[in-house]
Amino acid sequence: MMETTTHRMRRVVDRRAIANGTKVTLQRAFNGGQLTYTAPIDVEGQTVNVQVDTGSSDLWLASKECKTDSCRGKEGNKVYLFDDSKSAETGKDFSIFYLSGSASGPVVTSPVTFGGTQVASQAYAAADQVDSQQLTNMNATGILGLALPANSVIQQDMFVGQKNPNNTIDDATKTGSLLTGLWQGAASGSRYFGVGLKRLPSDGGNGDSTLTFGGVDTAFVPALESMKWSSAVADSDEVTRKWKLYVSDLVVTVNGTQVQIPLSSTGAQIPLAILDTGAPLNYASSEFLNAMYGAWNVGPAGDGSGGYYVDCKLQMEISILVGSAIIPIHPLDANLKQSSTSGAVASNADGCIGAFQPFNSAGNQSDLPAEFVLGAPFLRSVYSAYSCDAILDNPVPGSQGGCVRPTVGLYPLYNTTDTYNQALSDFQKVRIQGQKLGDNSQIAGADDGPTGGFGTGAKIAVGVVVGLVGIVAIMVFLLLILKRRRAREEHLHGLDGGVGDQEEKDDLVHARGGSTLVGPYASEKERQEARQLAILHGHFVEDDVDPASLTPNNAGGQSTTASTSQAWDVDSAGYWEANAIRNQYRKKQQQHQDGRRSLATHGSQADTHFSSEEHELSESPSSALR
């Protein structure tokens, strides 16, 4: 790695700018349990995914030097880390903070290709420190900032002690903004890009999310002229850094009644909103959100998060006037279902949150020059376009340097009766009737996507259940083997007077009084059980004692010699039925003995077989469990 800031690689003047109509298909992923969008980019011959972020202006990639948790991957999924060994050093360092998370590392330059257009030498950060960025869930290596060049942290560092050219910069090695390189030499009036974002297919978001340069995606908007354009609002120093517009009104509809939410609760007379594709939620102050959610009798959660949880079946109708366009928000983008993806923000037991959340749930608002951040949930209800040219003034075609008048165009997707009624119908089908409007199988991280929608807790639970089922299955299998072995062992040993007979004799000893269970002081219940056990083994007390001598216990509580049983009524039907059972049992025993003698006489081969079986069973039955 060589090269310093004293060396400037000049742009190739005959290089063509990104072609009009260039369309980049965005991939849907998850950040904080909500949808985010990524695009492929090629740097130093390595193709990686980057989150598309209109709220920041710098390109950074997590390098192989990054060892923080955000770079390590989770749940068996790896983060692809960028190899910056061939990049040129600049001697500058980079550090950026977002609403949530941060990244830092050395600033380097490399050839970068995006949308089929190569920037010969682009400045970016090879981040070796990345914190609180869900790179695993996003399947991303870094972030592509598409806000205005003047907002670039790298550019600010490059011009310390010098006059910053802000949005008129024309050297891609001096700014982290890829727009500078992509638009070098582009004709005036063509330097804009459009963004169309889709929900999950199961929520009706069928089709591609796209990023289009020098044109619009007609799957979202009929033509560029259909959009309503407004000038991006500059900061107090009159430099425009972010795609920022005024918010003039916000109305909610509750039970058919429209309620205007006072914007004064934001703390500004006319609040500002930053359009930010990288934000997974919309953000505003708690004071404003208390007023807005209060229309549905919803307050902040009492769990310390300050977030707003909502019933998944609550149909929330919100319209907001941004710039010069009224944007009705799709109900499925106002009431959000949380993905079970690891890292998801909190939600209620039903799994839903309001699309607008307080700044304190994401980070510090003090550094933001706006009262709202309108993130991906808002931008899914509108097609947005961002221009470096004075679109409002119908710029004359021709090469023009710098972003002389940044403007933002908006086209509401649900502002007609038909489209809005369709949105309401989609909500009813998905949330009330439980239908799926499309297939999520190609969306990584979706609940029914290819990576599995189970979060960490769910995966652990499934693993525990599978493990327990496996253990139980093994135990049942071993017990069956043990039972089978013991049955064979008893059968074989019973034929030759072995263990089977001995166990039977032992049981009979207990039944006849050889145990304290039927001793002189045994209870009547214990005597009855012992007698029944003896009968089951084919033995009667009468076999050893004359029935006529059997007498009940005497009054003193002492039994006679035959006191192991009560006197048996030899004339009763029960007595003869029991004798019949005994005789059948003895007949079977005799048949077994005859069979054994027959085998001993006529089957030496059988004897050999039984001998081997006995040898196999000579081990303790408990060995099967080892």
How many other C-beta atoms can be found within 10 angstroms of the C-beta atom of residue 426? 19
User: What percentage of the chain carries pLDDT values higher than 90?
Assistant: 56
Averaged pLDDT, 410-436: 97
pLDDT at residue 152, rounded to an integer: 98
Kindly report the pTM of this predicted structure: 0.70
What are 274-311's pLDDT values in tens digits?
999 999 999 999 999 999 999 999 999 988 888 999 99
What are 511-538's pLDDT values in tens digits?
444 444 455 556 666 666 666 666 655 5
**Phi, psi (deg, nearest 5) at residue 400:** -145, 135
pLDDT at residue 188, rounded to an integer: 78
For this structure, is 303 an active site residue?
no
What are 107-116's pLDDT values in tens digits?
999 999 999 9
- Asked if residue 273 has pLDDT above 90, the reply is yes
What are 172-202's pLDDT values in tens digits?
999 999 999 999 888 878 899 999 999 999 9
Q: For the domain 22-453, what is the CATH code?
A: 2.40.70.10
Q: Which of 52-61, 155-164, 571-580 has the lowest mean pLDDT?
A: 571-580
**Phi, psi (deg, nearest 5) at residue 363:** 170, -155
pLDDT at residue 65, rounded to an integer: 96
For this structure, is 350 an active site residue?
no
* The total number of residues written for the chain in this structure: 626
Q: Which of 186-190, 284-288, 382-386, 542-546 has the lowest mean pLDDT?
A: 542-546
Sign of CA pseudo-dihedral 238, 241, 242, 243: positive
pLDDT at residue 486, rounded to an integer: 72
Instruction: DSSP letter for 322, please.
Output: E
What's the rounded Cα separation, in Å, for the pair 33 and 376? 13
Domain range summary for the chain, segments of one domain joined by +: 22-453, 480-625
Mean pLDDT rounded to a whole number for the chain: 80
Instruction: DSSP letter for 78, please.
Output: P
Is residue 97 within a helix (H) or strand (E), and if so which, with residue range? Answer: strand 88-97
The catalytic position among 58, 217, 276, 447 is 276
Residue 23, SS3 per DSSP? strand
What's the rounded Cα separation, in Å, for the pair 115 and 377? 25
Averaged pLDDT, 338-359: 71
- Asked if residue 422 has pLDDT above 90, the reply is yes
